[in-house]
Amino acid sequence: MLFNDQQVEKLVGVETPFYYYDLALLERTLDAAKQAADKRKFHIHYALKANFNDRILSIIRSKGFGADCVSGNEVQKSIDVGFEASKITFAGVGKSDKEITSALKHQIFAFNVESIQELEVIDELAAKLGEKANVSLRINPNVDAHTHHYITTGLDENKFGVPNSELEQAASVLRSCAHVNLVGLHFHVGSQITDLNVFKSLCVKVNEWKNWFEERGTYIKVINVGGGLGVDYHAPDENPIPDFEAYFDVFDKFLDRNGQQEVHFELGRALVAQCGSLVSKVLYTKSGTKKHFLILDAGMTELMRPALYQAYHKIEKIGSDPSAKTINYDVVGPICESSDCFGKEVPLPESKRGDLIAIRTAGAYGEVMASRYNLREEIRYIYST
């Protein structure tokens, strides 16, 4: 249950829908991740794309995390919030010249490069500025993340990374580019990965590629294994904090590294998903011949994951009423799209117009994906204190 009765009272009169962020839980999660990483001398870059709410970012920065960005504006945002440039990485298959130039001027830690062509463009733009760009080569490890196909990124058929068949050429292009400096290798296999064996397989591939480069006389200082650690969408109260110890332990055990080599991670979801919930009000109830519907004032414009990749989110009624009978509802939003549905046949206490509903585990890829489709209102949010 998200709120106790006292907290529910405070919500009365607050305009819905809104994101509710539990900052105490965020801090506990960050501390757990940081401790488990520090113990093994691992570095964590927070993947901004999961949530770039100002307050959340400044808490993450204050705990000493780096930033992992996928656009020029994310790089700028991290700088504005106070992340050190020396802890900012910039990834993505389609970095524009403008974005690259701006990141070069900020002297960020490294570009995660996804093609030979991009390598050449970065070299050229760095030459113009008289800079030297640090780069990591993104390698597609061909590891199946066993997650939804829209969030699987590490297979040969995906658009991400330098194709394995071009790595020989990439290594020679690197030697001829005077304005780029290879700092490491980058991998990322996908998102919402809950089977740690996937990361074990990743380690095996990383070791192979690291050897491959070292055999060719290229020293790899940084091994960046990406992000992707999943969270428990089904039991947010029982498992509010991912098992970072077990996660980092896999890399500690299975990744070959010498004393000087650094291991970097780019966690997004695992750090912020559980601290956020979308709070919404029941506008209408509707019962057809086969179905009971709860029509909410929040829809896919506030939380797109269910519509976009059939993602599951736990749906709860806020406030307790032990005498209410349970009804299986289809919980839907107001948007004119059939995919605007948060859950089908969801067992909930019988609800009426005006009741509050929480959609849990919405702190990652929630607020950031909100849209103005249907000219919906700007997203609102409140923080626990």
Residue number with CB closer to ligand PLP (77 or 281): 77
Q: Does 299 bind ligand PLP (CB under 6 A)?
A: no
Residue 260 CB, shortest distance to ligand PLP, in Å, is 24
Q: Which is nearer to ligand PLP, 128 or 159 (CB)?
A: 159
168: three-class secondary structure by DSSP? helix
Q: How many other CB atoms are there within 10 angstroms of residue 299's CB atom?
A: 25
Q: Shortest Cβ distance from residue 374 to ligand PLP (Å)?
A: 27
Reduced DSSP (H G I as helix, E B as strand, rest coil) percent helix, strand, coil of the chain, to 5 = 35, 25, 40
Shortest gap between Cβ of 93 and ligand PLP (angstroms)? 10
Q: What is the footprint of ligand PLP within residues 85-104 (CB under 6 A)?
A: 91
If you write DSSP's letter for every residue of 106-125 in order, what string do you get?
A: HT-SEEEE--HHHHHHHHHH
Q: 230 labelled as ligand-binding?
A: no
Ligand-binding site membership of 316 (annotated): no
Footprint (CB under 6 A) of ligand PLP, residues 18-47:
47
User: Among residues 124, 141, 46, 148, which one has the least CA distance to residue 89?
Assistant: 46
Identity of the residue numbered 63: K
Give CA separation, 280 vs 213, 219, 302, 353, in Å: 52, 53, 10, 11
147 binds ligand PLP (CB under 6 A): no
Per the structure block, which two tokens stand in for 210? 């690291």
- Cβ within 8 Å of residue 99, ≥6 positions away: 71, 72, 75, 90
Segment near ligand PLP (CB under 6 A), from 223-231, 248-256, 290-298, 302-310?
Answer: 223-231
Closer residue to ligand PLP in complex, CB, 227/333: 227
Annotated binding residues for substrate, written as ranges, equal 269, 305, 309, 337, 365
Give the residue ranges of the annotated binding site.
228, 266-269, 305, 309, 337, 365
Residues found near ligand PLP in the complex (CB under 6 A): 47, 49-50, 68, 70, 91, 188, 191, 226-229, 266-270
